[in-house]
Amino acid sequence: MKSIQNFYLQLPKQHKVIISSFSIVMLILLLIPSEKATASRQTNDSSLQVGKRYDLILPTYQETTLSSPKKSEQQTSQQTTEIQLASTFDESLTWDKTKVRNGDSLAKIFKRLGYSARTTHDVSSAQGKYSKLLKKLDVGDILRIGKNSAGKLAALSYPFSKTETLHVTLLDNGKYQSNKETKTVETRESIAHGVIKSNFWNAGIESGLNDGQIINLANIFGWDIDFALDIREGDSFHVVFENRYINGDYIGTGKILAAEFINKDDPFQAIRFSDGEYYSPDGRSMRKAFLRAPVNFKYISSSFKRKRFHPVQKRWKAHNGIDYAAKRGTPVVAAGNGKVTHSGYNKNNGNYVFIQHGNGIVTKYLHFYKRPSVKKGQRVKQDQVIGYVGSTGLASGPHLHYEFVLNGVHRNPRTVKLPDAKPINKKYKDEFALLASQRLIELSGSRQALLAMQAP
């Protein structure tokens, strides 16, 4: 202590003044009584007391399960949490998990779990516009139902898609509130390519495409390529498509963004634009005004011929259409937009439909197995179901007889030049050109990668 005193006396006068002033200020602060500490909005008392334990109110954890081809995850719904904080109960919930069975309804599920008809009514008529989703339960769907300590249904969670979950929660007024949680989906681009060895379907599977993508790819080029008859060994394809993720977990594929199919050394390319349609790189629509074949068929049982021996009438006559053999009941769609001029039955055609299109075109569909799905005078759109494959009339087996008539003259539906749909709107031409340039670079990269894989 004496050494500290000697050190202080040896300091310059200016330093002694600063140290003395600082010591006086600290002494005053220590002698002044402090203000009472105020509690947060989560406590009922206005002050905190030393040594007393306080309960911290935390958001209630709501479990939802997201099913995906690869992973499942648990997430907390922000909307549900906000409603639960306003609820009258603070107890932990007991959760039941149930799967929708064949023939189930919300009432049957609730009865099975021990809830009353009144609870079913209150939940199904919950405030908000989303409770109606409970009327469309599908077999295999999962419901999670939470009850409080009194045994009352307090919360329901229903993931009705990979990205959306319905939450129904009991409010402090005794009523139920419905809300929908939508998870943010991240998309990443991926590329697939393949070569036809045996058939297109197998090549698609080997390339990593799923069933839906293979069908979509065929639909994109279906106006230019007959995938039942035109595919050859050595044909190849390249696809740029979306993969979808939630919080980094894969949940499935998205749209096909660009594609190329090389058929008999003839390349066909398609770019998807923001309007949802596919166009060639120069802006022409991939969609034609007419489908080449209005039915998914197994094979062509009889081609367009000026002279053919009729299998039922047993005589030679012109066959002015194409017979597409298909399973009985296979849907038949309108080849293009138009107006139904005939819809009925006669002994030769069986159940049939004629459609009048623009530019002097008429298409005819014969031998449906039951009455057509459209009526005379009705307007139809391309891809709309108009009937189902059958063998009514003069038919030796289930098939669709399809005719294409231009200005009163029958033409071969497989070879007639089909009018194109509208090209891309002129005001989007520059925007599309920029996008197409980028997509073509990606497709070129896929071609280079495929060539590298095939190199010895």
Query: Does residue 48 surpass a pLDDT of 70?
Result: no
- The residue count of the chain comes to 456
Which pLDDT score is estimated for 452? Answer: 80
- Domain CATH code at residue 317: 2.70.70.10
- If asked whether residues 395 and 426 sit together in one domain, one would say no
Answer whether residue 11 is part of any domain. Answer: no
Which pLDDT score is estimated for 211? Answer: 92
- The chain-wide mean pLDDT, for the chain, equals 80
Answer whether residue 10 is part of any domain. Answer: no
- If asked whether residues 331 and 370 sit together in one domain, one would say yes
Residue at a domain's end among 132, 147, 182 = 182
Mean pLDDT over 270-286 rounds to 94
Encoding tokens for residue 422?
Answer: 């509208």
Answer whether residue 53 is part of any domain. Answer: no
- If asked whether residues 277 and 222 sit together in one domain, one would say yes
Which pLDDT score is estimated for 217? Answer: 94
Query: Does residue 179 surpass a pLDDT of 70?
Result: yes
What are the pLDDT digits (tens) for 392-426? 998 888 999 999 999 899 999 888 888 778 899 99
Answer whether residue 230 is part of any domain. Answer: yes
Of residues 240, 332, 335, 328, the one with CA closest to residue 287 = 335
Q: Which residues contact 264 (CB under 8 A, 6 or more apart)?
A: 230, 232, 235
- E-only strand ranges, 264-408: 266-272, 278-279, 299-302, 305-309, 316-319, 322-325, 331-333, 338-346, 350-356, 361-368, 379-380, 385-388, 399-406
- If asked whether residues 170 and 255 sit together in one domain, one would say no
Residue showing tokens 């509690």: 39
Mean pLDDT over 285-306 rounds to 80
Which pLDDT score is estimated for 34? Answer: 46
- Domain CATH code at residue 270: 3.10.450.350
Scored b (16 or more CB within 10 A) or e, 238-251 reads: bbbbbebbbeeeeb
Quickly state the pLDDT bin for 390 (edges 50, 70, 90). Answer: very high
Answer whether residue 366 is part of any domain. Answer: yes
Q: How many domains does the chain have?
A: 3
d(CA 280, CA 271): 6
d(CA 436, CA 75): 38
Answer whether residue 244 is part of any domain. Answer: yes
Residue showing tokens 């297109």: 200
Which pLDDT score is estimated for 363? Answer: 95
Residue at a domain's end among 147, 182, 217 = 182
Which pLDDT score is estimated for 158? Answer: 92
Query: Does residue 54 surpass a pLDDT of 80?
Result: no
What are the pLDDT digits (tens) for 68-81? 333 333 333 333 33
Dihedral of CA atoms 151, 155, 158, 163 in degrees, nearest 10, equals: -150
Cβ distance 147 to 93 under 8 Å? yes
Answer whether residue 16 is part of any domain. Answer: no
- If asked whether residues 101 and 167 sit together in one domain, one would say yes
Query: Does residue 218 surpass a pLDDT of 80?
Result: yes
DSSP 99-144: EPPTT--HHHHHHHTT--HHHHHHHHT-BSS-GGGGGS--TT-EEE
Find residue 303's DSSP bridge partners: none
271 or 33, which is more confident: 271
Cβ distance 107 to 134 under 8 Å? no
Query: Does residue 367 surpass a pLDDT of 60?
Result: yes
pLDDT more than 90, % of the chain: 45
Mean pLDDT over 433-442 rounds to 94
Quickly state the pLDDT bin for 313 (edges 50, 70, 90). Answer: low
- If asked whether residues 72 and 148 sit together in one domain, one would say yes
d(CA 122, CA 260): 54
Find residue 156's DSSP bridge partners: 145, 168
- If asked whether residues 426 and 283 sit together in one domain, one would say yes
60 three-state secondary structure: coil
Residue at a domain's end among 156, 182, 208 = 182
Answer whether residue 25 is part of any domain. Answer: no
- If asked whether residues 69 and 162 sit together in one domain, one would say yes
DSSP 12-37: -HHHHHHHHHHHHHHHHHHHSPPPPP
Instruction: List the domain range (segments joined by +) for residue 161.
Output: 64-182
- If asked whether residues 383 and 275 sit together in one domain, one would say no
Cβ distance 365 to 352 under 8 Å? yes
- If asked whether residues 99 and 176 sit together in one domain, one would say yes
d(CA 237, CA 200): 10
Which pLDDT score is estimated for 70? Answer: 35
Strand order across the beta sheet in which 176-182 lies:
94-99, 142-147, 153-159, 164-170, 176-182
d(CA 43, CA 388): 69
Of residues 131, 134, 130, 158, the one with CA closest to residue 144 = 158
- If asked whether residues 206 and 312 sit together in one domain, one would say no
Candidate from 65-79, 164-178, 303-317 with smallest mean pLDDT: 65-79
- If asked whether residues 363 and 444 sit together in one domain, one would say no
Quickly state the pLDDT bin for 387 (edges 50, 70, 90). Answer: very high
